[in-house]
């Protein structure tokens, strides 16, 4: 799906701003064709939860409605008109002028509707019904529980199977944009180290298959370095400047489509020449080993929750550069398109993760063990939706040079029977849809050991989440290091050709809490924790990276195990460094590799 960009043949208009908003009660009458009554202002994009005070407001379970008007002019109606949402969490039902456009399930990927017929010149009424429930059919997963207490009304509670707050709403930008009657629907482009460039164009409209397609590769200065024709093809750019973390050089593929009637559409897609591969327990970027240094990272902060915030995401990448990191994982959902574009530009490597978190019926609302396992793969009803999400994610992010790998899930019940049968088709589908055949992984947790894991052989590289020294062996970092090393060695024996990296490791740390003896929750303990893990990594030649959990403190479901959220951040929620940030900065600057 192409990102909305203004071109010589397209107009783009943002519908961001203040919308009308209302939480809906169960069975409350819904009328999409009338203006809302008793509504309140709500910023879009944002998560709705923290905008107004009130526990019942923030923790509302079920439906809500967003509404606004926009004006369409005669010139806008000359071709086709589309409505596009960056993401609505978790399901959306969209109406225009009282007519249903359609619905979308999945809270972290874009979707669009053509509104050429439903829109009218003048004022148009746009209504979006949003549902925030997570259950055993959604990604991420959760449970809906009806609580009853004597003398009180029945209360519906939504318990996530994951350890982050269930922010929801229209969380990413909304646009309308125009195209000609025959238009470019999608572009796939891939540039290799030797200058080979491959493209595939998808067009829509009457007799689109008979249209003339011209492509040009433009360098960063706008010079044309290759010209070709056809809906698909390949060519070569002489001596391309490769994209990497030190020199994230970007090219553009300019595409011109001309229909038999003379209709013209133009679009420019950004890409880079670079290759990702795996060999001899190493992840290679442009045939050079790259050691991944960075974090698991939530897209969250302040009062906007997970709403798109260009200033915050730019600051975050600046902090990644400052601390010496070169990568992060989009834990635990695809980040915004704007973030991916910034990573392309700033040379940040990304493990792009689907929202498949909580695929474990033994997890509780804070992501910790202690639920009621009943056989995860017999209980969940996510398989078909998961396939659709992987297709959507690859389709959206396929051209980004920053994306070096795909993660199909985080901490599923990969030790249970049925896990291999569930994930094998997903891994195969992901590779089928990706022209670059980038590595695919499944991030596993401590319950999935070298002896019990059912999915290790499906992964191109192993990403392990381990908390020795925190959730077990707490306070005993020497013992934790022994257990960690033993487990890493066990996985290497089982999969001797696969790179292994830590996808999560960390300790909750209260900013400003100091202790001479480096006790739990102190900044000193977090620093010593990082040091102990680093020594283990340095002793094992097949470790390909280290992603600390977590970049910054973040909100979670309310629970006595979480004091004001998860405090494992190396930075506070408002992006102030803890002591461990300076240790990691020193460590990562000393780890010398090509990237």
For 247-304, give the DSSP string: -B--EEEEEEEE-TTS-EEEEEEEE-B--EEEETTEEEETTEE--EEEEE-----GGG
Q: Quick one: pLDDT at residue 561? A: 85
Position with higher pLDDT, 302 vs 10:
10
595 domain-assigned: no
Mean pLDDT confidence for 313-342: 98
Is the pTM above the cut of 0.95?
Answer: yes
Is the pLDDT at 340 greater than 80? The verdict is yes
Catalytic residues: 411, 504
The answer to whether residues 298 and 370 belong to one domain is: yes
The answer to whether residues 329 and 265 belong to one domain is: no
Q: Using the 8-state DSSP alphabet, how is residue 563 labeled?
A: S
| 56-65 confidence digits (pLDDT tens) | 999 999 999 9
| 226-279 confidence digits (pLDDT tens) | 999 999 999 999 999 999 999 999 999 999 999 999 999 999 999 999 999 999
The answer to whether residues 356 and 243 belong to one domain is: no
The answer to whether residues 253 and 284 belong to one domain is: no
Tokens found for residue 201: 């164009």
Is the pLDDT at 370 greater than 70? The verdict is no
Tell the residue number behind the tokens 């806008």, with chain if given. Answer: 76
Hey, is 391 helix, strand or coil?
helix
The answer to whether residues 202 and 317 belong to one domain is: no
Count of structural domains within the chain? 2
**Over the range 308-324, which residues count as b (16 or more CB within 10 Å of their CB) and which as e?**
bbeebbeebbebbeebb
Is the pLDDT at 364 greater than 90? The verdict is no
Q: Using the 8-state DSSP alphabet, how is residue 421 labeled?
A: H
456 domain-assigned: yes
The answer to whether residues 350 and 441 belong to one domain is: yes
The answer to whether residues 477 and 548 belong to one domain is: yes
Tokens found for residue 193: 């180290």
| CA angle centred on 143, ends 139 and 149, rounded to 5° | 155
550 domain-assigned: yes
Question: For residues 534 and 531, what is the distance between their CA atoms, to the nearest angstrom?
Answer: 5
Considering 276, 295, 317, which residue would you say is the last residue of a domain? Answer: 276
282 domain-assigned: yes
The answer to whether residues 568 and 496 belong to one domain is: yes
Q: Quick one: pLDDT at residue 28? A: 86
Q: Quick one: pLDDT at residue 302? A: 87
Q: Using the 8-state DSSP alphabet, how is residue 206 labeled?
A: T
- Domain of 187? 183-276
| 407-433 confidence digits (pLDDT tens) | 999 999 999 999 999 999 999 999 999
131 domain-assigned: no
The answer to whether residues 311 and 410 belong to one domain is: yes
89 domain-assigned: no
468 domain-assigned: yes
pLDDT averaged over every residue in the chain: 96
Tell the residue number behind the tokens 């482009």, with chain if given. Answer: 189
Considering 261, 276, 291, which residue would you say is the last residue of a domain? Answer: 276
For residue 193, the domain's CATH number is 2.60.40.10
The answer to whether residues 303 and 413 belong to one domain is: yes
**% of the chain beyond a pLDDT of 90:** 94
97 domain-assigned: no
Considering 231, 259, 276, which residue would you say is the last residue of a domain? Answer: 276
Q: Quick one: pLDDT at residue 84? A: 98
Question: For residues 141 and 131, what is the distance between their CA atoms, to the nearest angstrom?
Answer: 14
The answer to whether residues 208 and 319 belong to one domain is: no
Position with higher pLDDT, 570 vs 26:
570
For residue 456, the domain's CATH number is 3.20.20.80
Q: Quick one: pLDDT at residue 363? A: 81
């Amino acid at each position: 799906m192409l990102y909305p960009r203004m071109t010589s043949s397209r107009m783009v208009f943002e519908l961001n701003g203040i919308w009308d908003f209302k939480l809906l009660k169960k069975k409350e009458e819904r009328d999409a064709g009338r203006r809302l009554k008793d509504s309140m202002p709500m910023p879009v994009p944002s998560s709705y939860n923290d905008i107004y005070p009130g526990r019942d407001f923030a923790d509302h379970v079920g439906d809500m409605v967003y509404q606004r008007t926009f004006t369409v002019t005669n010139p806008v109606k000359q071709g086709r008109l589309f409505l596009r949402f960056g993401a609505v969490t978790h399901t959306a039902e969209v109406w225009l002028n009282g007519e249903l456009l359609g619905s979308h399930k999945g809270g972290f990927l874009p979707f669009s509707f053509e509104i050429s017929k439903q829109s009218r010149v003048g004022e148009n009424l746009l209504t979006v019904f949003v549902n925030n429930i997570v259950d055993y059919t959604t990604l991420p997963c959760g449970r809906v529980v009806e609580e009853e207490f004597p003398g009180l009304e029945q209360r519906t509670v939504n318990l996530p199977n994951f350890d982050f707050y269930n922010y929801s709403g229209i969380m990413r930008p909304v646009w309308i944009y125009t195209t000609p009657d025959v238009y470019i629907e999608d572009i796939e482009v891939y540039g290799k180290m030797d200058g080979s460039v491959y493209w595939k164009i998808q067009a829509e409209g009457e007799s689109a298959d008979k249209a003339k397609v011209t492509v040009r590769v433009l360098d960063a200065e706008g010079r044309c370095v290759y010209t070709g024709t056809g809906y698909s093809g390949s060519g070569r750019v002489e001596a391309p400047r490769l994209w990497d973390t030190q020199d994230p050089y970007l090219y553009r593929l300019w595409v011109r489509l001309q229909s038999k009637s003379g209709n013209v559409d133009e679009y420019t897609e950004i890409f880079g020449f670079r290759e990702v591969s795996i060999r001899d327990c190493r992840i290679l970027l442009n045939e050079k080993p790259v050691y991944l240094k960075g974090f698991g990272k939530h897209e969250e902060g302040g009062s906007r929750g997970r709403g798109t915030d260009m200033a915050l995401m730019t600051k975050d990448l600046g902090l990644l550069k400052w601390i010496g990191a070169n990568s992060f994982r989009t834990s635990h959902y695809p980040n915004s398109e704007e973030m991916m574009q910034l990573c392309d530009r700033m040379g940040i490597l990304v493990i792009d993760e689907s929202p498949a978190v909580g695929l474990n019926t033994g997890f509780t609302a804070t992501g910790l063990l202690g639920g009621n396992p009943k056989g995860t793969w017999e209980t969940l009803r996510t398989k078909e939706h998961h396939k659709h999400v992987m297709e959507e994610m690859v389709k959206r992010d396929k051209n980004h040079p920053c994306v070096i790998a795909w993660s199909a899930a985080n901490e599923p019940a990969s030790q249970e029977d049925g896990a291999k049968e569930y994930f094998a088709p997903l891994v195969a589908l992901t590779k089928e849809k990706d022209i670059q055949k980038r590595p695919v992984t499944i991030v596993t947790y401590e319950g999935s050991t070298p002896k019990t894991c059912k999915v290790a052989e499906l992964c191109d590289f192993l990403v392990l989440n381990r908390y020795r020294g925190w959730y077990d062996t707490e306070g005993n970092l020497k013992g934790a290091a022994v257990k960690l090393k033993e487990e890493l060695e066990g996985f290497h024996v089982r999969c001797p050709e696969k790179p292994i990296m830590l996808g999560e490791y960390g300790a909750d740390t209260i900013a400003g809490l100091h202790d001479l003896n480096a006790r739990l929750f102190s900044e000193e303990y977090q620093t010593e924790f990082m040091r102990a893990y680093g020594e283990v990594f340095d002793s094992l030649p097949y470790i390909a990276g280290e992603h600390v959990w977590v970049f910054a403190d973040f909100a979670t479901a309310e629970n006595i195990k979480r004091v004001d959220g998860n405090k494992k951040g190396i930075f506070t929620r408002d992006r102030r460094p803890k002591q461990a940030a300076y240790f990691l900065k020193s460590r990562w600057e000393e780890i010398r590799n090509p990237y």
